[in-house]
Each structure stands twice: as C-alpha cells, then as structure tokens.
A and B are shown apart, each in its own frame.
Chain A
Amino acid sequence: MAENAPRRGVHARAPLGAVDGGRTSSGAAALDRVIHERVRLAIVSALAVNETMTFNQLKALLATTDGNLSVHARKLEDAGYLACRKSFQGRTPRTEYRLTPAGREALERYLDHMEALIRATRG
C-alpha cells in the first residue's frame, strides 16, 4: 500500500523540481511529495527534534482534527518515514510516533532542496 507519490494534480513533475530547469539533469531530486504538504511537513519537522510524540501532542501542535492527522500520519508511515507504536495507558489507547532514519533523510533532502532553490534564484 505504499504511496510514495501521492497524486494531487495532473502534472507528473513537481513545480519545485521544475525550478531547477536545466539543472535537473545534474541529479537534482524531484521534490518529495510525501513531505511537501503542510501537515506532513510539520509532523516530520516536529519529530526531527523530539524523539517521540504522541498522537494527541501532534494534534494539539498542529491544531488539526483526529481524522486529518490520521490520514497524514498514515501516508508518512506508508512511505516508511514514520514508525508508530500503539499501547495502552490504563484503558486509554496511546499512539506514539517516531521518525525513522528514512524519514530523517527525507527531511534533510527536502531542506537541501529548499536551500538549493534559494541559492539558484539568488540575485
């Protein structure tokens, strides 16, 4: 069920990837659409500086709904960027997320991409 390239539009190529123009051939990676989304980017960023965060913590941080957070967290899980652990605290179910090494790499690639973009358009 991996969904490595969620399709939100008809174009195969991501707009930010296209910015590199002639430089794309130099191996500039296409933009990672899995984390190029507001909620998912925030989840990955928050988990980059916190070893683990619970579902409720993320929900409060992002000021979003259960459903919305579940959908986005699932996409990140499916891409292998997030590891999820479910347990019980008393009778209350508790879901805890952590970033996988692949997720950390994805964020680093995304940061590199943004920096490259700023450098490329400087001037």
Chain B
Amino acid sequence: MTGPIALYDDDEEPPALRDQAAANLRFIRDAMASSTAFTAVSGRGGMVMGATAVAAAVVASRTDSRDEWLMVWLLAAALAGAIGVVATHQKARVAGVSLFAGPGRKFALGLAPPLVAGALLTAVLLRSGDAGLLAGVWLLLYGVAVVTGGTFSVRIVPVMGACLMVLGAAALFSPAGWGNWYLAAGFGGLQIGFGALIARGFGG
C-alpha cells in the first residue's frame, strides 16, 4: 500500500499539521477503498475477458449469418464468464477467503439480476426478429450489472459499468451493422483498459 501518510516521530516538529491530518484522512479512505476492492474484482481477469471479446468480434465479423454471429458471441460470453469465475476464485484463494463470502458474494449478487434480465431479453428479441438490438441491450445490461455489482467496491468499478451503459445506449441508437464493433469496444476495449487500472491499483 502506498498511501500518502507520513506519520512523524515524536521528536520531530510536525511541519504542517493540517496537511498531515488531511493526508491521514486520505490514507484511511484509501485503505478502506483498496481493501473492499481487493476481495471483489479481478482486474487481470477483466483484461483476459476483454481479449476474448476482441477475438470474438474479429471472428464474428467474418460470419455469414445472424445465427453464426450469435453463436460466436454466446460462446465468447460463456468463455468470459468462466474466466471471470476462475480469476475471482484465484484472487480469493491468494487472499485466503472463500469465493462466495464477503465482498465477492456482494459483487456476484449485484451482478446477477441484470444478467438474467439480459438473457431473457436476448431470447425475446431473437423471437421477435429484433436481433439488431442485441449489441446495445447486452452492453447496457452488462453495464448495469457492473454498476450494481460494484456498488460496494471502489469507484472505478461502477465507473466502468457506467461507461458500458453509455456505449450500450449509443449502440441502441446506431445502425445495427455497427453492433459488432460496439461490442468490441465495450466488452473488449473498456474491460482491458479498466482491468489494467484495477490490476495495477487494487491487488490484481
């Protein structure tokens, strides 16, 4: 931990006590923030999931039919989900905590409802022939899931969710043909970028 605190020795005259006190408060806040983030979200896992999404976008762009396109993304989603679980599990194991205890559990419980809603909407949109809306709906609801799951985490997690939501909203109002690249930017770009920030700042 590299907080700004500089607790001085007894025999030193404290230079600027107000700054010192403010730095101590910041240190406490940082310690609280990194400790909650530490157990909840795996940044490296997010980066690998992002890489999966970029690969999926490339493969999906070369498919000929809507069904093939869908299959590629569903497989990528399943793979990313598995990577997420494994990465979180590893992070929890290193820390010596159970995967389904504490902040990890809170994160999963917050994440789940929007993802279930997304799965339902996917089925409905496919049935009604509105598959062009899928990219926007996926990004929007995954974004909501990250925001709700990240409520108890450091701010960077819900911020990532909000960015995903913005991208999803833009995708919903863009031509259906752009959907694949919105997915690459959101599931790929945003997850890799934020994953790197989380990995660097909050314990892996």
Contacts and interface: CB of A to CB of B under 8 A. Distances in A.
B21 A114 contact: yes
Taking residues whose C-beta sits less than 8 angstroms from the other chain, chain B's interface range is 35 or more
B88 interface: no
Interface string B94-106: 1111000011000
Contacts, number: 109
B8 interface: yes
Contacts of A55: 96
A121 B57 CA distance: 57
A57 B204 CA distance: 12
Interface residues of A, number: 40
Interface in B20-74: 20-22, 24-25, 27-29, 31-32, 34-36, 38-39
A118 B22 contact: yes
A42 B27 contact: yes
Interface of B: 1, 3, 5, 7-14, 17-18, 20-22, 24-25, 27-29, 31-32, 34-36, 38-39, 94-97, 102-103, 203
Interface of A: 8-11, 14-16, 19, 36-38, 41-42, 45-57, 60-63, 89, 94, 107, 111, 114-115, 117-118, 121-122
